[in-house]
Structure 1
Amino acid sequence: MKTYSIGLVPGPVSVPEEFRRAYLEDYGSADLEEEFFRLCEENSELLRLVLKTGNTVTIQSGEAMSVLWGALKSCLLPGDRLLAVSNGIFGRGFGEMAEMTGAVARIVEAPDGEFPDEELIRQAAEEFRPHLITAVHCETPGGMLNPVAGLGKIARSVDALLCVDYVASAGGADVRTDEWGIDIGLLGSQKVLSLLPDLSMAAVSPRAWEVIEQVNYAGYDALLPWRDGIKNRYLPYTHNWHAVSALRLSLRRLIGEGLEASFERHEKTARYCRQRLSAMGIGLYPKREELCSPTVTAAMMPEGWTWKELDKALRGRGMAVGGSYGALAGKVFRIGHMGSQADLELVKRGMDVLEEMLASK
């Protein structure tokens, strides 16, 4: 398979060699070794710092979608109501997934490039009286960083839980789980953490654990077994020791850099990317600057190009970016500058290639 010298896809991102080396080590059985359980405890503490929470943090095997499914199935019974706050395929997807579990969903949808007005969300919550409100902090297909900080108060006003997907933002943008009233915060390993797509994590509040215990979902992706699994030294399946070791390396590096320094690095790189695109006459999908994500930029297709043409031409020059999904497929291309790719020199090289290529057509 061909590799690219300028990798700017929006995830899975480039995995540093130091993290990859963790997969070459020999470990014992994660079911039996005290060393593994201590590793999990350390990672949970580090994740609490990153996510700014005192809640329980679970670490499961599986790509991030597994914990999205697990959270919904762990919190909802057939007939329960879910209010999905949406401005893209993943926000809307929460509602669609909930319906597949037998729940009743309502979606509050934003116009293109925007986020739903908070008062409209409040009105929908008061009318619909959901058991669970969901939102996506970074809607990667549209390059949007969404203002979710006010949703916790809305959720509590109608006695609902708040579940937020911050898979593509945590570590690269400020996430305040407790301050924002997030009952279930969802994270994946392949974005800012710059790992393989093999771990999913959840920060779960005491309120959420009460509901999860009542629902008592018992599938492979269930959250309940992880509430006390590490403490009791008894897990529902054999865990991925290699991935959990790599996670410690990633979290230690992030904490060592400093969260504020990481946020600044991501924002500086993203701002440079947007400025270069603007100079090329390429528009952005988000309608407002404050909605632009620091981890991924969604740019409109340049005039006279199709996505297939652009992708082929860039790859021919050693550069890989991402297309988009759903209604944005073929209309938007995405530049991933998160984690290991939040590198100003890397993005500069990418923008130079893009500019040269557009000028040559």
Structure 2
Amino acid sequence: MRRYEDLAPSQRCIMTPGPVEVDPRVLRALSMPVLGQFDPEFTGIMNETMGMLRELFATGNRWAYPVDGTSRSGLEAAMISLIRPGDRVLVPIYGRFGHLLHEIAERCGAEVSVMHRPWGTVFDPEEIIAEIRRVRPQLVAMVHGETSTGRMQPLEGIGEVCRELDALLVVDAVATIGGVPVKTDEWKLDVVIGGTQKCLSVPSGMSPLTYNERAEARILARKRVERGIRSDDDAFGEDIVYVRSNYFDLGMLQDYWSEKRLNHHTEMTSMLYGLREGLRLALEEGLEARYARHRLHERALAEGLEAMGLRLYGDPACKLPVVACAEIPEGVDGEAVRSMLLDRFGVEIASSFGPLKGRIWRIGTMGYSCRENNVLRVLGALEAALLRQGFAASPGAAVQAALDVYERV
């Protein structure tokens, strides 16, 4: 019989746009004893988690809970539960994850209208508002922070028009929640989906979301419309709900998270511990202080990259504060640099997708990874790797520029 060694993953400095390093206190919470999913002690933890999520999302919504699965599970749950075949859906696209929303909407049977902006830019909200008035969609789906391009879309004013025209506004805030303000109620966002593995520094595996009464009414109306009676194979004549997914049906999930505790699935007990601890730490730090921390380390990283002689990619006016995109210099093998960073320095940064593949590196400053020693480490390691590639970086300039930022605080 083959003998397997004890699991011993390497220690990494993870500076990607997700996943990021997990806070040790979250790892400790993940190791706590498992409780039964209907144990009153555990349902109390569920209720606490919902309360903390409301604070994080800046909302008074009744519904704020996690969907079990990676961030995409929350996106699919929202769209599957809200979109009926034939609904008009508008998707503004300015990077890879807008294309994902487009695909999910099409799989739901929607008539999808799309808008495009060149990668590295975002929309003027008035452009989106004008298209909403033209298309008259039942639902608008858009990305708040696009990690593929390092850009952030302004959302102010869009929700107001969606309310006026009775359209739901669904926002992917996977990359921004916990690192950048997400003002659910103030911006009139109907559904907001977050992720755990980015600015919350919790392992991937849950997708927190929140939705308001407008979205809930659409979910419950859909259930009434799609309710039917089983035919000859139904001995009891029970009602059933024809929704494309049982697992991602928000109408069923909210019953599970309500006081009814209607059984839907076996809850990911340990992951919920981790999410609760990640939320507790975010609220203990204070959301405004947390956002300021992310801005500080973003500035130090960006100034260090520029002092190294690298060009930052994209329109600086709409930069996503938790991801820096640096153009790969001509003549430099971007993947060789990434390999050297990982193999020699234990530092991981990311490449990109589609039209940006091989053109930029993406460096995240998110959650627990977003700290001074990590920023200085990635700058020093990247400078060394570039020098080995023959790039004419000024030795020490990047780290000194970042130190200047920190000393000005």
TM class by smaller structure: over 0.9
Partners in 2 of 1:66 and 1:242 — Cα distance? 18
Partners in 2 of 1:33 and 1:277 — Cα distance? 51
- Residue 105 of structure 1 aligns to a residue whose secondary structure is strand
Q: In the alignment, is residue 188 of structure 1 matched against residue 195 of structure 2?
A: yes
Correspondence for 2:55:
49
122, 138, 159: which one aligns with 1:131 = 138
User: What residue ranges of structure 1 are gaps of 5+ in the alignment?
Assistant: none
Q: In the alignment, is residue 172 of structure 1 matched against residue 200 of structure 2?
A: no
> How is 1:62-211 mapped onto 2 (pairs within 5 angstroms)?
62-211=69-218
Correspondence for 1:34:
40
Q: CA deviation at 1:286?
A: 2.2
> How is 1:242-261 mapped onto 2 (pairs within 5 angstroms)?
242-261=270-289
- Contact 2:125 2:156 survives alignment (8 Å): no
- Contact 2:84 2:222 survives alignment (8 Å): yes
- Greater shift, 115-124 or 254-263, is seen at 115-124
Q: CA deviation at 1:4?
A: 4.8
Partners in 1 of 2:268 and 2:292 — Cα distance? 32
340, 359, 366: which one aligns with 1:313 = 340
- Residue 84 of structure 1 aligns to a residue whose secondary structure is strand
Correspondence for 1:287:
315
- Contact 2:15 2:349 survives alignment (8 Å): yes
Partners in 1 of 2:333 and 2:246 — Cα distance? 42
Point out 4+ residue stretches in structure 1 off by more than 3 angstroms: none
Amino acid at match of 1:324: S
296, 312, 330: which one aligns with 2:358 = 330
Partners in 1 of 2:289 and 2:152 — Cα distance? 18
Taking structure 1 as the reference length, the TM-score comes to 0.95
Partners in 1 of 2:314 and 2:43 — Cα distance? 43
Correspondence for 2:264:
236
CA deviation string 1:80-136 (max 9, x = no partner): 011012210112221122112211111111123111222221221111111111111
Correspondence for 1:300:
327
- Contact 1:135 1:148 survives alignment (8 Å): no
Correspondence for 1:15:
22
CA deviation string 1:166-197 (max 9, x = no partner): 11111111110000011000011111111111
Partners in 1 of 2:285 and 2:11 — Cα distance? 27
- Residue 83 of structure 1 aligns to a residue whose secondary structure is strand
Partners in 1 of 2:22 and 2:52 — Cα distance? 20
What is the aligned-residue RMSD (CA, Å)? 1.5
Correspondence for 2:303:
275
In our comparison, the structure showing a higher alpha carbon Rg is 2
Q: CA deviation at 1:336?
A: 1.3
Amino acid at match of 2:253: W
- Contact 1:270 1:296 survives alignment (8 Å): yes
- Residue 311 of structure 1 aligns to a residue whose secondary structure is helix
Correspondence for 1:347:
375
- Residue 190 of structure 1 aligns to a residue whose secondary structure is coil
Partners in 2 of 1:58 and 1:177 — Cα distance? 14
Partners in 2 of 1:75 and 1:285 — Cα distance? 36
CA deviation string 1:221-269 (max 9, x = no partner): 1111232322212231000110111111111111111111100100000
Taking structure 2 as the reference length, the TM-score comes to 0.84
Partners in 2 of 1:198 and 1:2 — Cα distance? 19
- Contact 2:141 2:171 survives alignment (8 Å): yes
Q: Calculate percent identity across the aligned residue pairs.
A: 33
- Residue 148 of structure 2 aligns to a residue whose secondary structure is helix
Partners in 2 of 1:222 and 1:271 — Cα distance? 41
- Contact 2:120 2:150 survives alignment (8 Å): no
- Contact 2:54 2:64 survives alignment (8 Å): yes
- Greater shift, 341-350 or 224-233, is seen at 224-233
Q: In the alignment, is residue 227 of structure 1 matched against residue 254 of structure 2?
A: yes
Higher relative contact order (CA 8 A, sep 6+): 1
- Contact 2:49 2:65 survives alignment (8 Å): no
- 1:112 and 1:24, CA in 2 relative to 1: closer, same or farther beyond 3 A? closer
CA deviation string 1:23-46 (max 9, x = no partner): 32222221x211111111101111
- Residue 228 of structure 1 aligns to a residue whose secondary structure is helix
Q: In the alignment, is residue 358 of structure 1 matched against residue 365 of structure 2?
A: no
- Residue 290 of structure 2 aligns to a residue whose secondary structure is helix
- Contact 2:123 2:153 survives alignment (8 Å): no
